[in-house]
Amino acid sequence: MNQKSWLSGQKPNNSLTLDSVKEKPAFEILKQFFWQAIQKNATDMHFDPKPSLVDIRIRVDGHLQSFSQGTTEQFEVWKRIIKLQSHLNIAENRLPQEGGFSLEQDDNRCDMRISFMPTIFGEKCAVRFLPTGESFQNCLDLGMTRDQLILVEQTISSREGSVIISGPTGSGKSTTLHTLLGLFPKKTLHIVSIEDPVEIRDKEINQIQVQEEIGLTYQQLLKKMMRLDPDVFLLGEVRDKETARIACEAALTGHFFLTTIHTKSTFDILLRLLEMGIEPYLIATSLSVLISERLVRKVCTHCSEKIALNDPSLNKQGIHSHLVGKGCAFCHYTGYQGRQGVFEVVSLSEETKKMISAFSLTPNLDLLQQSFQKDCLVPLQENFFTLIRKGVTNWEEALIQLENFE
């Protein structure tokens, strides 16, 4: 069974055939590793082979930290167990492989996506801990302000138009998309999602996995899906003109769509769609709310201290100091603990929409940008300043996130 069939909902057969006395205790150690990592809110775990040992690291709050080590012999046994559990080929160690399995303990369950990749010191194994539908937060928990949420709710309750989220890789766009879906009455609406990969499982909607190797591309699936006449559809990402056009056209005929796009700012979403060659009138009539998102690390509350900031541009904003974590056992000596989203929400006004519509006849980017800025509730940077003033994060982290774009 490969990753895609596992993610499409078939329950993996966990009847493990551990065939040596070494393997059962080794599996217990692995399970302990995984649960410990999950308790530390790790999103993934990496087994990195070195010449004489394996280094195990976990990613917490977006940053890798060391977790444990094992001998090369132990790692050979662990790899075999992980491959067996993930229904991968245990004899294959030269080619990349992908799969997954679930851990269950008491009432807890965690789905994991597994990747093996050959390196010069042997196969590396990466484990991604997938969030479960039950752990959905609401938009305020994610870090949206109440005013931003009201704006999004107004758009969603009109059941027409779209929400597009931009941001760098790993900025929490998928989590936000699925959290926004929670604002729709799922039981009385036909909701379909097309994702690559399906990371967050939601049993109340129809989730479809892109499988390019058998021709199930975003485009193909989207065309076929429109025949099902969904009230709401979620597209994991808009990558090409065809997909963008179908989605925009669908919004004109009473379907609501939510998607993400890889651009640096909300304004860049408009530019990207224009660059793709989507007709301006189509953009103007189908776009409703544009969101830009970043994930910011929160200063550890156990070891933070106030440090003065003598930066004139910050002082002008009324920021004269910020909190910096010295590092303690609570934050694994990083100075940070936990993360939250920072958002910019723009609801397009009629004036801006008119300008977009007329863009091919009278292209004036400066005027469009001015009008767009008026539609923006609070700019992203201003929301970072607010979090610094509140002591949630600090200037160093804000700089990293404001400049980060991968």
Q: Which residues contact Zn ion by CB under 5 A?
A: 300, 302-303, 325, 328, 330-331
Report the b/e string of 277-304 with b at 16+ CB within 10 A: ebbbbbbbbbbbbbbbbbbbbbbbeebb
Nearer CB in complex with Zn ion: 64/183: 64
AA letter at 73? E
Nearer CB in complex with Zn ion: 159/326: 326
Nearer CB in complex with Zn ion: 21/329: 329
Smallest distance from Zn ion to CB 302, Å: 4
Contact 278, 241 (CB under 8 A): yes
Q: 165 vs 171, 237, 260, CA distance in Å?
A: 10, 9, 5
SS3 110: strand
Distance CA 215, CA 208 (A): 13
| Torsional class of 45: left (φ above 0), alpha (ψ -120 to 50), beta (otherwise) | beta
Nearer CB in complex with Zn ion: 70/335: 335
Nearer CB in complex with Zn ion: 189/328: 328
Smallest distance from Zn ion to CB 317, Å: 26
Smallest distance from Zn ion to CB 60, Å: 13
Nearer CB in complex with Zn ion: 12/327: 327
DSSP 11: P
Q: In this structure, what are the phi and psi dihedrals at residue 121, rounded to the nearest 5 degrees?
A: -100, 15
**Given strand 289-299, what is the order of strands in its sheet?**
206-209, 191-195, 232-235, 256-261, 161-166, 289-299, 336-347
Smallest distance from Zn ion to CB 299, Å: 8
Nearer CB in complex with Zn ion: 131/338: 338
| Residue indicated by tokens 């109340």 | 204
HSE, side-chain direction, 13 A CA sphere, residue 225: 30
Smallest distance from Zn ion to CB 142, Å: 23
Nearer CB in complex with Zn ion: 197/391: 391
Nearer CB in complex with Zn ion: 89/333: 333
Smallest distance from Zn ion to CB 335, Å: 6
Number of C-beta neighbours around residue 197 at 10 A? 17
Nearest alpha carbon to residue 294 among 177, 162, 180, 403: 403
Smallest distance from Zn ion to CB 38, Å: 21
Contact 126, 115 (CB under 8 A): yes
CA 357, 367, 341: angle at the middle one, nearest 5? 85
Nearer CB in complex with Zn ion: 47/336: 336
Smallest distance from Zn ion to CB 70, Å: 28
Asked whether the CA dihedral 21, 23, 29, 31 is positive or negative, the reply is negative
Distance CA 11, CA 101 (A): 9
Smallest distance from Zn ion to CB 36, Å: 19
Smallest distance from Zn ion to CB 323, Å: 11
Q: Which string of DSSP letters, residue by residue, matches 218-230?
A: HHHHHHHHHTT--
